[in-house]
Structure 1
Amino acid sequence: MWKTWRAPHRASCLLHPARRTHTSDTRPFAAGDILLLRQKLDQTAPPILTRPLKSGLQLHTHKGVLNHDDIIGKRVRDVVRTAPLRSGKAGTEYRLHHVKLEEYVRLSRRLVTPIYPADANLIVDLLDLHVVPYSGNTPANDGNERLEILEAGTGHGALSLYLSRAIHAANPPPPEAPGDETVLDEWKATRRAILHTIDCSAKFSNHASSIVAAFRRGMYHANIDFHATDVSAWTAKALALRNQLPFLAHAFLDLPNADTHLGIVARALRTDGCLIVFNPSITQILDCVRRIREEGIGLEMENVLELGINGGSGGREWNVRAVKPRGKKVVDEESDDGEMAAGIVESSDGEVDGPPREEAVREESNASDDWKTICRPKVGDRIVGGGFLGIWRKRRDMRDD
């Protein structure tokens, strides 16, 4: 059986910028490339993700052995044949393919569960990123603010790849000699878009870095700064270096205790910056809602979406808001006109229910002010499994006006 591979150190994957972005059908596969193999006669067979090609290495499959030297020099959609496992048996033919990003995320070796491609695409879409492409005549300080994004909870590095791809066009090509740290640091100072990704585990952070570095010869790696630390500590230090001025365009938190980091991350967000929190449980999103209200954090809820298993639901909306009971009725905290809303619950099929079911509605009381939290799927939707995205925007601090 073939085995997943351990991605190499990033420096061995980064190539000359003129070469590393060239993946047309005319370029032969070369040492350092990774690719996907599919059986020629059995399209239903699981595909095989190779290691970075290297002369002298072999790929062992349950259908036989492939020499890397037999692949190097071939082009996309060429066919190679395995050496048979037993004499007298014919080898199996495999067709060569460029590996897509979603295939790479699913098939690359993992230490933790990745954010699946459908969910990663949704998160990038919610951030609504629009970078100004770099050109040779574009100065580093062209008057546009540097786009800086925070990702806390690097994990497998899947979302890091998708975010880096979204901002990639804004940056100049990296240096030709990436092993020279001085040259690399000088180039980093010229970047116009940066992803800061943080994980509390150095092991996970290093693994994610190697995963990002191995895809397409590391073309998206240099846009990312990897950190193994606590997100609040890192954010506080980054604010101190910037004289406490907000610098983040957006932030994404994939942490079990995300609510404890909201205050400092919100301080670092620029006005109207988007903060997305991913949690497997809706009650963890409720913790964030409570924390924002109790501590007066300058964030305004925009939406709550439910993700299905492996991205299956596509982002179903939930109704999550704070309310204050008045007898048999409640007042919505976000209501502008103070209109009273009847304290009844509609079921998912639109019919009026009696006492709400626990999985459909949750009310969280707070003894200090008697606020409660209404939490239920939008009417007409079906309850399925998966995680949740809480989406907030940074309010404008009126004291600055």
Structure 2
Amino acid sequence: MSEPTGAARRRGPFRVGDQVQLTDPKGRHYTFTLEAGKQFHTHKGAFPHDELIGAPEGSVVRTTGNVAYLALRPLLPDYVLSMPRGAAVVYPKDAGQILAMADIFAGARVVEAGVGSGSLSSFLLRAIGDHGMLHSYERRADFAEIATQNVERYFGGPHPAWQLTVGDLQDNLSDTDVDRVILDMLAPWECLEPVAKALVPGGILCAYVATTTQLARTVEAIREHGSFNEPAAWETMVRTWHVEGLAVRPDHRMIGHTGFLLTARRLADGVEPPLRRRRPAKGAYGEDYTGPGSGSGGAGADR
């Protein structure tokens, strides 16, 4: 039985072509690709790549300046933060939420719009495996090229489950019986009709947006469309902790807002979503509100 794509690159001794992440005594990371006969240089000296080729992961190497570096393969979260970028990457904390809350499973048929630098594509491909399907759409050809290079560098070549189309999702989406749709784009509300047609009943739409304005407009458009259940919206923040003896405290810096996530599930054809029982706050839909459902009484008046 053949191994899943990229799995062989994640275990065993270091080989030529492997990516290595070095950690210095201060916790700083340096990533490079192993090449026979080459040397890795730092301001604290150098050491030959050959010293790591054939060595087990977790080895320690010393430079000519007698500084010790821990050598490990970079994890996917490390890789996406250090890879070349065309657009901003989806951070690991948000990618993890997408995989969990959009319920990405092995063999899933997924559509992704907004590839950027290939960060989320890499997470999705590893989750769905060789027998799933990820069809990604990217408007910009230069971003698509960078994303392709990053994904293939991580998996060691083309992934059999990945198809990348350069163009707008709403103009090119022809996939059917899709389990999940992930939208990382400026105006996800413009894609709801083709997305609804592509998703299977019970399928999940997950949108990743940067601002409260985008979040509000997307949620209201989903409610107005009528093919989805009540969307859920949230953001995730990560705070690391300093642990040193009795000095246990939160670190002074944290990974705060990067974006908002929202999910909604596709209803069966011909089914109307249940009425919302929770009334909106007074003034939530003012006279100047021009979003979806802004007719008489405001969008939330009869929900």
Match of 1:152 in 2: 113
Letter paired with 2:30: I
Query: How many residue pairs end up in the alignment?
Result: 271
Give the whole-Å Cα distance in 2 for the aligned partners of 1:167 and 1:64. 42
When residues 287 and 62 of structure 1 are mapped into structure 2, their CA distance, relative to the original with a 3 A threshold, is same
Is 1:53 the counterpart of 2:22 in the alignment?
no
Residues 36 and 49 in structure 1, CA contact (< 8 A), matched pair in contact too? yes
Is 1:200 the counterpart of 2:181 in the alignment?
no
Residues 112 and 183 in structure 2, CA contact (< 8 A), matched pair in contact too? yes
Match of 2:206 in 1: 276
Where does 1:232-243 land on structure 2 (aligned, <5 Å)? 232-235=170-173, 238-239=174-175
TM-score normalised by L of structure 1: 0.59
Q: Deviations over 1:138-195 (max 9, x none)?
A: xxxxxxxxx3201101112111111111111xx3xxxxxxxxxxxxxxxxxxxx4111
Q: 5+ unaligned residues in a row in structure 2: which ranges?
A: 239-253, 263-272
Match of 2:233 in 1: 304
Match of 1:210 in 2: 149
Where does 1:210-229 land on structure 2 (aligned, <5 Å)? 210-215=149-154, 217-218=156-157, 221-229=159-167
Q: 1:31 aligns with which of 2, 12, 16?
A: 16
Q: Deviations over 1:63-121 (max 9, x none)?
A: 233332332222212222224xxxxxx34221211211111122223232211111101
TM-score normalised by L of structure 2: 0.76
Where does 1:167-178 land on structure 2 (aligned, <5 Å)? 167-168=128-129, 171=130
Q: 5+ unaligned residues in a row in structure 1: which ranges?
A: 1-15, 84-89, 133-146, 172-191, 240-245, 319-332, 345-355, 375-401
Give the whole-Å Cα distance in 2 for the aligned partners of 1:306 and 1:18. 32
Q: 2:275 aligns with which of 312, 324, 335?
A: 335
Larger radius of gyration: 1
Root-mean-square deviation (CA, aligned residues, Å) is 3.3
Give the whole-Å Cα distance in 2 for the aligned partners of 1:36 and 1:340. 50
Higher relative contact order (CA 8 A, sep 6+): 1
Match of 2:216 in 1: 286
Letter paired with 1:298: S
Letter paired with 1:305: W
Q: 1:162 aligns with which of 94, 106, 123?
A: 123
